[in-house]
Amino acid sequence: MKLTSPAFRHGEAIPAAYTCDGRDVSPPLAWSALPPGTRSLVLIVDDPDAPDPAAPRMVWVHWVLYNLPPDSTGLAEAATLPPGARAGINDFRRTRYGGPCPPIGRHRYFFKLYALDTRLPEMGAASKAQLERAMAGHVLAEAVLMGTYERRGD
């Protein structure tokens, strides 16, 4: 399974348009080579470097999506969810994408796509932890795209 973005390559900087310094919209994403038997997809975007990469204390969750249809091939910039897909709650306490906005240093942002052998039950605005519990034992494959971002000082 493969996860890519036309906006940035794995390990490269995420363009400012997709951060709090820009339009704060989700970047375009594309996926392919889903394993046979995939019934739904989950996308979780998080930052393990919060609040300071030199002394990380938490993983900050930026985006949580579940029940993405297995026949989809990605999400457009400023994504509108496909029918049946659900948005969970992130650490900004909202159900939409929250772009990188690191208080200090260059952070890493992991876009993680999971192929599941089931469709998850309706969980409303589920948290990352709730989704991970629901996904347990159902992950067929995982793909990761990592981008970085550091805010420029004035």
Residues 6+ apart with CB under 8 A from 45: 61, 62, 63, 64, 97, 109, 110, 111, 112
Domain-embedded: residue 107: yes
CB 12 within 8 A of CB 147: yes
Residue 142 lies in a domain: yes
Condensed to tens digits (0 to 9), the pLDDT of residues 2-28 reads 999 999 999 999 999 999 999 999 999
Range of the domain at 65: 2-149
- The predicted-structure confidence for 34-45, as pLDDT tens digits, reads as follows 999 999 999 999
Would you say residue 154 lies in a domain? no
- What confidence tens digit (pLDDT) does each residue in 27-83 have? 999 999 999 999 999 999 999 999 999 999 999 999 999 999 999 999 999 999 999
3-state secondary structure 39-102: CEEEEEEEEEEECCCCCCCEEEEEEEEEEECCCCCEECCCCCCCCCCEECCCCCCCCCCCCCCC
CATH code, domain with 87: 3.90.280.10
Examine residue 51 and state whether it is found in any structural domain, yes or no.
yes
Asked, for residue 57, whether it belongs to a domain, the answer is yes
Q: Is residue 83 part of a domain?
A: yes
Query: From CA 66, how far away is CA 84, in angstroms rounded?
Result: 9
Number of structural domains (the chain) is 1
